[in-house]
Structure 1
Amino acid sequence: MLTGRQRSYLKSIANGLDPIIQIGKNGISENLIKQIDDALEAREIIKVKILNNSLLETKETANKIAKLTDSEFVQSIGNKFVLYRESKDNKKIELP
């Protein structure tokens, strides 16, 4: 679980990130979860965009994916959300 200070720190990092994963009309699939899992291991923090043709709610989707990937939901703005998970092998982000 993240503290408020850690969440604020991660938000500041995520501010400069572009979404690297997009969720379309196919929704949450096994392949999508694998991609997000791999991206979190490599980068620790990622931004995901839900496309307009998807009928998914942003916060609901973010929480579901966070649970499936064992990651932390950081924030959602509009149709984008940020996830964080500490990497096992290549740790880059030091939380305050």
Structure 2
Amino acid sequence: MKFLAFFAFFLTVTLVFGEDPPLDPCYQEKVNCFLPELEVGRTTYLRGIEYCENACRSLEDCKWFTWREAEDFNVCYFLSGCPMPMNGDEYTSGDIEECQE
């Protein structure tokens, strides 16, 4: 019985204080690929970068995405490429062909 109580306590602590699931290794932190001429579309209604990646997959011309995470609101940019990556603290970009499905 004590073992069961300990296991339940351990499971609760792990769920509450556990780490977030690992992000896809294709995510390039602090990289901004957005250029207006490369934009296929954008949205501000996604909950996280994983949703941005998956939305890009659903668009025929989307090859790259850039996720801007800021205090005011998040933006997901769908892009046809990333020929000139720039530094940006609030940006993360990814090449769909390198991302895990």
Structure number, greater radius of gyration: 2
Q: 1 or 2, which has the higher helix percentage?
A: 1
TM range (shorter): 0.3 to 0.5
TM-score by length of 1: 0.36
Q: 1 or 2, which has the higher strand percentage?
A: 2
TM-score by length of 2: 0.34
